[in-house]
Structure 1
Amino acid sequence: MNLIQLVYVSRLAGDESVLQSIHSHAVRNNTAHIITGKLLYCSGRFLQVLEGEPAQVHRTFDLIKADPRHRDVTLLMEQTISERAYPHWNMGFRHVQQDDLDQYPAYKAYFQDDFAALKIQPLIALEIINNFV
C-alpha cells in the first residue's frame, strides 16, 4: 500500500471555543477517508501529522488550508512511509498546556512566533508530536 505522512503547522483563527469542533470534524473526515494522525494545539498554534493514501491526505490538507478556523497553514514535511505510525488514531488530539511545555523546555521555541524553528528542523515536529500522547 502506498502511504504518506504529512506534517503541517497553522494558527488558530478565532478563539479556543472551536477546538472541539475542529477535533470532531477531523475524526469524522479521517474515519471516512482512512486517515490517521495526531493533532497538537498549544497557545493558538496547531501541529498536526496526517497519514494515509496520498490522494486522501492531500485532499484533507486542502480542506484544512481552506478552513477559516486555520490561518498561516504551512507544510513542514511530507514523506513516503511503509506503515502508519498512528494506526489506531483516526485523530488523536492533545491540548498542550504551559505546564506540559515546562516538562519539555526545549520544545517551547517551536510553539512561538512564525514556526521558524520547525521550518528549519521539520523532523523535530514528529518528536514533539510523539512526546505528547
Structure 2
Amino acid sequence: MDLEHPDQLIELSYISKATQDMGLSSLIHLFDVSLKWNDDHGLTGVLFYENQFFSQIIEGKRADVQEIWGKIQKDYRHQIVRQLAFNSIQERAFPNWGIRFYGGDLIAKDVPHLTGLLDGIPNHDVELLAAMRSVSDGAKKQ
C-alpha cells in the first residue's frame, strides 16, 4: 500500500506554540475533546505541553490524520505550527493510547531528556522527535 492510499497507516508529528498559556482547565478540556475525536476516528498518539509549546505524535489512517492535521493548523490555540515528520508506518507505536498527555511535571519525571527541547527551535527537531518516540515502550505495554 503506498503513502497516497487513504487507509495507509501514517505517523504525523508536529510542534507549535500556544497563542496563550494554557491553564489546567483548558488542558483538561483539550484532552477530553481530543480523546473523543481520536477514539471516533481510530487515532492514537501522545501529546506534550510545556512552556506554551505543544508537541504531538498522531497515528492513524492517512485520511483521518490529514483531517485532524488540517484542524490543528487552523486552531486558534496554535501559532507557529511546524510539521516534524509525516511517515508511512507498518504498526503503531502507541496502539493503546487514544491520546496520552504529558505536561511539565510528567515530562520532568518520565521524559527528562525532553526538557529544553520544546522550544520551537528547528535545530532540536531530531532530538525532540526521538524523545517523543521514547515513550512508546510504555504505550505498547498498556
Q: TM-score range by the shorter chain?
A: 0.7 to 0.9
Percent identical across equivalent pairs?
26
Higher mean Cα deviation, 81-90 or 49-58? 81-90
After superposition, what is the alpha-carbon deviation per residue over 1:80-117, rounded to whole angstroms, capped at 9, x for unaligned? Answer: 1111111111111111239817x73x5333122x3323
One-letter code aligned to 2:74: A
Residue aligned with 1:109, SS: coil
Instruction: Count residues in correspondence.
Output: 131
Q: Any idea what the Cα deviations from partners look like across 1:21-79, whole Å, max 9, x if unmatched?
A: 21111111111111111101111111100000001001001101111111111100011
Give the whole-Å Cα distance in 2 for the aligned partners of 1:132 and 1:96.
18
Partner of 1:109: 116
> Are 1:64 and 2:78 matched, yes or no?
no
| Unmatched 5+ stretches in structure 2 | 1-6
Other-structure match for 1:45: 53
3-state SS of paired residue (2:20): coil
Offset, 1:125: 4.6
CA distance in 2, matches of 1:118, 1:130: 20
Distance in 2 (CA, whole Å) between partners of 1:42 and 1:132 is 20
2:116 aligns to what SS in structure 1? Answer: helix
Task: Please state if 1:28 is matched with 2:36.
Answer: yes
The root-mean-square deviation of aligned C-alpha atoms, in Å, is 2.6
Q: CA deviation at 1:120?
A: 5.3
Verify: 1:12 aligned to 2:18, yes or no: yes
